[in-house]
Each structure stands twice: as structure tokens, then as C-alpha cells.
Amino acid sequence: MRSIFINFSARVSRRILNAMPLRKPLGQSVDWQQRQALYRNFSKLYALGFFFGLHLVVPIFVPLLQGHGLSMSQIMQTQAIFALTVAALELPSGYMADLWGRKQALIIGSLVSTCGFLVLQQATSFMDFIIFEVLMGIAVSLCSGADLALLYDTQIALDQHFAKEGRDRVKGADDSTNIKARKPASSAKTFARLLSISSVAEGLAGLLATALLFWSLEWLLVFQLLISIVPVLIACTLVEAPALSDVDSKRAIVQANEQDKLPDSIQGNTQDNISDSMAGKKKLQSTQVISVLLALKPLVLWIGATIIIFGLIGLYAFWLHQKYWELAGIDIRFFGCIWAAFCLVRAVAAHYSEAAEALLGYRRLLILACVLPLIALIAMAFAPLTIGIVVSLLMPLGRGLGYVVLIDALNSRIDGVYRATLNSLISLVSRAVFIVTGPLLGLAIDYHGTRMTAVLLLMIAAPCLILMTLGLLRSIDRDKNRPVVVKHYS
């Protein structure tokens, strides 16, 4: 009976895969019009990241739900359901983005997000907020990884074009009006800009939330709904980056890394990290994706695990911050201003993360990114409330410095055809952990208070961050001493 079910599932999967409009492989070169459209992807993705980050409800989300009678435990239960939705759809959505195209995933995800904010505008009960979180979970699962994958796909396609023509980097390319002579910035700079723009948008959302709360909460929700429509329009104008052939994909990534390599950068032996592209084949099978992911070398896995730990610590701190501000007696109308300061610090840190790595070296930078969140948690747990709020700004500072370097190190080692899947896998693991630990965080805040919860979070975060950072540094040292070997996966 089991074999019959497996055979039936395989046949259905094959038919679905054969019917899907696969991403088109790249030919011998990128023509001028296509290159022009790809260049515009950068500004459109920056705009998309801006409006994705312009969530007015984020700075006051905890008081908003508490105003409808929800306890902190119930609030964290809604977040666990959100994480469960994302976890259930993360890999399938990433796989579909790799197969169908990133543009389609972004369009659908943006539409679902708009539907979610429409529900939030009318929400009054615990069940209403659960429906909102489910819709937002679907939207996030479709968009997370797809925007980043399209950014790197565009980068690699343009780098390949310049590698073929043998052009050197044009100084001041960002300000050039001659699109044929422009070479895109390095992948690290490109992602740093995206993260900075998103952080600036979150900060601006905090300021707008403060202004609108002096008017009314209802108008804040209306503005949020209108803002959520803009990403749908932007996503419709994106251009799908063509998939690269096996040899061209390796050559483009290796040459880009060699040209854009920073002093002491954690690039390692890039050729050993790039799997063979499946884009030139008729269909992309899930078993091939799994086999390639399992074949990734330890350094890639360490980078992914470190990203997960850093992300989880930041997520826990986010839900702790608003209760901490409430404990300090700050008016809810000024939550947005404090949140804007947090986002500004993260945006500046992300913008200068590449320069920080060049100045400090990857080793000192990673250690700094590990230590800063721990100092913030110590201040929140033991320092006076006012000092704790100020010192907690070290949390977004550490995230902004370390996150760009880690994400770029990960994505520069993965072939484009699997990039969205791996980014979705990392998000999946993070959400899966939060499904279990999120409600526990809410219970701890309800029964033990904000201060004691900060102490408990510090006791858990300290060994995790230290061990993960030391393991990553050790893996980098081992990777540097390994000979370069190009692997071929069948």
C-alpha cells in the first residue's frame, strides 16, 4: 500500500513539474535591453524592501493586541501560529520560487499581505488575529528568500556579462547615466543597501506610527492597508533574471568573489561551494535539491546555523522590547520614536558593515557582532530602565554589522537555482524553533516579569552565541587551508 501511494505521488509530482513554466536558461549573452531591465531590478528591489519594511503596526503591536484583551501569552501564541504557517510553507514556497520564478512568488506574496492587513483593520478577537497571522505567514513564506534570490541572480547575470566582455569595474558606477558601461556593485554592498533601506523604512514607520497615533489608531490601520498595496505594483514590474548554465554560473560567482573580495573576507574556496546548476535541464526535482543541500560543506552549514541563532536572539529581544518600554512607563505614542532609533542604528551599521569588515577583519567583526547583543541583554536585565533602553541599542548595532557579512557569505556560495530554497530552509528552521519557544517566552513574561525574562534569555543566548561564533571561526580557518576542488553532483 505504501509503495502504491509513493508511485502515485511521484506520477502526480512529475505531471505538475512538467506543467510548470520553468525559468528560462540564459543563452550565450545578455542583450542590451535585457541588461537594461536587469539594472532596474536593483532600484525596484530596494523600493520593494522599503515598502516591505514600512509596517506601521510593528512598533505598537503588543499594546494593540493587549488593547483587545489579549495577554502576552496569547500574543505569543498568535506569533507561534504565524511561525507555524511560515514553517509549513517555507520550503515549498522557496522551491516554487526556484522553479517558477522569483517575480511570481513576490507578486502573490504581496497580494496575500494586503489581504492580511485588510483583516487586521477589522480584527477584534483572538481568532481574528490568528487569521491575520496565518495570512501574513503565507505572504512571508512566499516573499522571504525570493527577493534576496532575485537580487543575487541579477547580480550574477550582470557579472557574467562583464566577465565575458572583459570589462574592468567602472569607478563611480552608481552615478553613471551610461547603462552599458555600468558594472553593478559587489553583492555585499548590494545586500547592505537593501538591509539599510529596509531598516530606514522600519524607522520611518515608527515615526509615522507616532504621528498617526496622535490622530487615531483607526487611521494608522487604514494607512497600513494603503501602503501594503504598493509592493504588489512594484513586484509586477520586476524582471526575472535568466538562469545560468553550469559553467557560466561557476565562473560568474568565482570571478565576482575574486573581484569584490574584501581584506580578510570570509570567502574561502568558493569553487568548492557551488553546486552544478539544474536550470539547463528540463525539470528541477526535489530529490536533486535535497542531495545538493546535503552535499554542502561544513563552512556553509556553520554560516547558516549562525544566521539562525543571531536571528532568533533578535526575534526574542524584539518581543521583549515593547514590554520593557511599557515597564519604564513610556507612553505608547512614543514607542514609534524609540523603534525608529533602533532601526536607524541597524541601518547605519548595515550600511558600513563592509567597511567595518575591511577595517577590523572578519574575525574581530564576528566577535563584536556576538558580544554586542549580550551586553544589551545584560543592561536590560540589571541596569536601571532608562540606561537599559539606551544600551539595548547595541542589539540592532550587532545585528546590522554581522548579518550582512553572514548573508553575503552564504549566498555567494550557493548556485542561483537553489538559492531561494536554502534561504527558505534557514527561515524554516528559525520559525520551527520559535513555534516551540515563542509561547514559552510569553508565559515567562506573564508569570516572571520582563526583567527576569531578560535574565533567562541572557542565560540561554550567551552560550549559544559564543559557541556558534567560535565554531564558525574555526570552520573558516579550516576552509582556508583546504585545497580548491571543484565538485560535480549528478
Q: What is the pLDDT of residues 394-427, one digit of tens each?
A: 999 998 888 878 887 777 666 656 666 677 678 7
Specify the pLDDT at position 156: 78
Q: What is the pLDDT of residues 71-119, one digit of tens each?
A: 888 999 998 999 888 878 877 777 777 777 888 889 999 999 999 999 9
Percentage of the chain beyond pLDDT 90 is: 22
List, in order of start, the domains of the chain with CATH numbers. 35-480 (1.20.1250.20)
pTM of the predicted model as reported, rounded to 2 decimal places: 0.67
Q: Can you read off the three cell numbers belonging to residue 483? A: 585545497
Helix, strand, or coil here: 301?
A: helix
Q: Which residues contact 223 (CB under 8 A, 6 or more apart)?
A: 56, 208, 212
If one counts every other C-beta atom within 10 angstroms of the C-beta of residue 69, the result is: 10
Q: What is the pLDDT of residues 44-75, one digit of tens each?
A: 888 988 998 888 898 888 888 888 889 888 99
CA dist 227 and 241 (Å) reads: 27
Burial class (CB within 10 angstroms; exposed 0-12, middle 13-18, buried 19+) of 258: exposed
CA dist 434 and 7 (Å) reads: 35
| 99-108, 121-130, 219-228: the lowest-pLDDT one | 99-108
CA dist 151 and 40 (Å) reads: 11
DSSP 54: -
Q: Can you read off the three cell numbers belonging to residue 295? A: 552535499
Specify the pLDDT at position 100: 76
What does the longest C-alpha to C-alpha distance in the chain come to? 65
CB 434 within 8 A of CB 83: yes
If one counts every other C-beta atom within 10 angstroms of the C-beta of residue 253, the result is: 27
Residue 56's alpha-carbon distances to 62, 143, 389, 402, 413, in angstroms, are: 13, 19, 21, 26, 35
Q: pLDDT at residue 36 above 50?
A: yes
CA dist 106 and 103 (Å) reads: 5
Q: pLDDT at residue 286 above 80?
A: no
User: If DSSP states are collapsed to H, E and C, what string results for 126-163?
Assistant: HHHHHHHHHHHHHHHHHHCCHHHHHHHHHHHHHHHHHH
Q: Can you read off the three cell numbers belonging to residue 188? A: 555585499
Percentage of the chain beyond pLDDT 70 is: 71
Q: At 243, phi and psi to the nearest 5?
A: -75, 145
Specify the pLDDT at position 288: 53
User: Pick the residue with more confidence: 490 or 459?
Assistant: 459
